[in-house]
Copies of this chain bind each other. A is one copy, B any other.
Amino acid sequence: MADEKNEGVLARWGKGLKAKSSSLMAKVVELLRKTKKLAKDDPRRIVHSFKVGLAITLVSLFYYFEPLYDGLGASAMWAVLTVVVVFEFSVGATLGRGLNRVLATSLAASLGFGAHFLADLAGDKAQPVILSLSVFFFAAITTFIRFFPRIKARYDYGFLIFILTFCLVSVSGYRDDEILQVAYRRALTILLGTFIAILICLFICPVWAGDDLHSLVSNNIQLLANFLQGFGVQYSNESKEDELLEGCKSVLTSRQTEESLVNFARWEPRHGPFKFRHPWKQYRKIGSLTRQCAYRLESLNSYLITETQTPLHIRDRLMKSCSKMSIESSNALEDIASDLRTMTQPTFPNPHIEKSKAAMKDLKAALKIGPGDGDIDLLEIVPIATVASLLIDTISCIEKIAESVCELGSLANFKCVEAGKSSGLELEQEHQKLPTSAIVNDHCHVVMVD
C-alpha cells in the first residue's frame, strides 16, 4: 500500500518534472526564435555587438602593456569606462556623446581646478566650506539646466559629465597635491577612449543616423502609398489588409525615433550623398506631414469595414471615382517616396496629384443626389460619403508632403531627373531592406513592450 503510494508520488514527480522540462525547452526554443528574429530584422545589430567587443578589448590592452600602464597609471580604467558609455549604435550618437564628454570634461576640470585654487587661498578653515558650497550650487544649477528642452535634446549627457568631473576634480583636489598630473592623465585616457570608440564606430561598417532617418521618412511615405493602393483595389486578401494597416500604424508611432535620429544626424560629418550641413530638420517637417496623412488613412480604414451598409445604387456611382482617387494618390505618394529615396528633385506639380484632383471633381459631381434617389437614410450614406471626404482631405495632405519634399530638394540640392537616377538607385537598393520597426527599435531610448 505504502509502496503503491510511493510509486504514485514518484510517477507524479516524474510527470511534473517532464512537464517542467518540456515547458523549459519550449521557452528556450522561443528565446532562440526571438534572438534569430532580432538578428535577422537588422543584421547591423550583430556587427555592432562585435564592434563594441573589439573596442573594449582594445582599450583593455592599456592595462596589459607595461609602458602604457606606467604612463597612465590607474586612470587607464577611465578609458574602459569612456568606451563603454560613449559607444552607441549610430555614428551620430557616438560623436555626440564623445564630443559632449570631452568638452564637458575639459570645461569642468578647469572650473573645478579654479574652485580648488580659490578655496586654497581662503585658508584651511574656510576651504571645506567653500568647496562644499561650490559643489552644491554647481550641481543644483547644472541639474536645473538639464530640464531645458533644447539642452536635454542634445547636451544632456554633457551636463551630466560636467557635474561629475567638477565634483571629482574640485573635491579630490584637497586630497591630492598632484592634482594637475592626475587631471592630465585622466584627460588623456578619456581622449584616447573617445578616440578609439569613434574610430571603430566610424570605420568598421558605420551606421549613420542620417541614413536611417532618410530611409525611415521615405519608407513611411511608401507605407502610406501601399495602404492607399490596397484601399483602391479593395484588398484582395485579408492578411494583406492587416499588414497594410500595421504599416500605417507604425508611421503614427515613429515620431520619437525620428526626433532622436534628427538630433543624432546633426552630429554626423559628410557621408554618402549627405553633406555636412544637410537640412536634417526638414525631415522633421516631412515626417509630421506624413503622420497627419496617416491619421486620415487610419480613419479611412474604419469606414471600410462598415461600408457594406451603403445602398448599392449610390455606392456604385461613387465607388469608381473613389477607387481612381486612391490609386492616383497612391501613385503620387510612391513618386514622392522614390524621389526622396533617390534624392531626385520631384517634378512639381506631380501629374498623379493632378489626375487625382480630376477624379475628385467627378466624385463631387457624383455626390449630388436628387429626389429620384428615393428615401435615403443619411447614416447609411455616411460611410461612403466620409470615405470620399477623407480622400479629398488626403489629396491636400499629399500636396503638402510633395511641397515639403520639394523644399528639402532645393535646400539639399537634389539632382535633377536624368542626372540623378543612376547614383540614386544604389542608395535605394541599399536602404530598401530595413523595416521601419527595426529602425525604431535600434535608436529609441524608451522602448515599448507589447
Task: Tell whether, in the assembled complex, residue B386 and residue A389 are in contact, meaning their CB atoms are under 8 Å apart.
Answer: yes
For residue A271, CB closer than 8 A to chain B, the reply is no
> Is the C-beta of A313 less than 8 angstroms from some C-beta in chain B?
no
Chain A residues 421-442 with CB under 8 Å of chain B are 441-442
**CB atoms of A379 and B369 under 8 A apart:** no
Residues of chain B contacted by A383 (CB below 8 angstroms): 389
Alpha-carbon distance between A85 and B162 when the two chains are bound, in angstroms: 12
A54-B136 Cα distance, complex, nearest whole Å: 6
A5 an interface residue at 8 Å Cβ cutoff? no
Check: A150 CB closer than 8 A to any chain B CB: yes
Among B77, B139, B164, B375, contact of A168 (Cβ-Cβ < 8 Å): B77
Stretch of A10-18, A56-64, A207-215, A216-224 with 4 or more beta carbons under 8 angstroms from chain B: A56-64
Contact present for A147 and B367 (CB under 8 Å):
no
Q: Nearest Cβ distance between residue A262 and chain B, in whole angstroms?
A: 9
Contact residues in B for A444 (Cβ distance below 8 Å):
446
Q: A393 an interface residue at 8 Å Cβ cutoff?
A: yes
Q: Is A74 part of the binding interface, using a Cβ–Cβ cutoff of 8 Å?
A: yes
**Is A167 in contact with B446, judged by CB distance below 8 angstroms?**
no
Query: DSSP majority for the A interface?
Result: helix
Closest beta carbon of chain B to A372's beta carbon, Å: 9
Residues in A lying within 8 Å of B, measured CB to CB: 34, 38-39, 45-46, 48-50, 52-54, 56-57, 60-61, 63-64, 69, 74, 77, 80-81, 84-85, 128, 131-132, 135-137, 139-141, 143-144, 147-150, 152-153, 160, 163-164, 167-168, 171-172, 174-175, 253, 255-256, 259-260, 263, 295, 298-299, 302, 364, 367-371, 374-379, 381-383, 385-386, 388-389, 393, 441-442, 444-449
Nearest CB of B to A170, in Å: 8
C-alpha gap A259/B140 in the complex (Å): 28
Give every chain B residue within 8 A of A34 (Cβ-Cβ). 148
Given known contacts A49-B141, A63-B171, A139-B57, A442 and B164 CB-to-CB distance under 8 angstroms: no
Closest residue of B by beta carbon distance from A443: B446
Cβ-closest 4 pairs across A and B: A53-B140, A367-B378, A49-B144, A445-B445
- A375 near B367 with CB under 8 A, answer no
For the A-B complex with A371-B371, A378-B385, A381-B385 known, give 18 more contacts whose Cβ atoms are closer than 8 Å: A56-B163, A56-B167, A60-B131, A149-B447, A152-B441, A153-B449, A253-B255, A256-B256, A260-B446, A295-B298, A368-B377, A378-B388, A379-B385, A382-B382, A444-B446, A445-B445, A445-B446, A446-B446
Query: Are A259 and B56 in touch, CB under 8 angstroms?
Result: no
**18 A-B contacts (beta carbon < 8 Å):** A39-B144, A46-B144, A52-B140, A52-B163, A57-B132, A60-B167, A60-B171, A64-B128, A80-B167, A81-B164, A84-B167, A259-B447, A260-B446, A368-B375, A368-B376, A378-B381, A445-B445, A446-B446
Please judge, given known A-B contacts A49-B143, A442-B147, whether A379 and B393 are in contact too, CB under 8 Å. no
Q: A152-B447, A442-B147, A445-B446 are in contact. Are A53 and B389 (CB under 8 A)?
A: no
Question: Given A375-B371, A386-B386, are A143 and B449 neighbors across the interface (CB < 8 Å)?
Answer: no
- Tell me the smallest distance from the CB of A66 to a CB of chain B, in Å: 10
Contact between A136 and B448, CB atoms less than 8 A apart? no
Bound: A205/B57 CA distance, A: 44
Chain B residue contacts of A441, Cβ below 8 A? 147, 149, 152
| Identity of the chain B residue whose Cβ is nearest the Cβ of A81 in the assembled complex | B164
Q: How far is the CB of A78 from chain B (nearest CB, A)?
A: 10
Chain B residue contacts of A447, Cβ below 8 A: 149, 152-153, 259
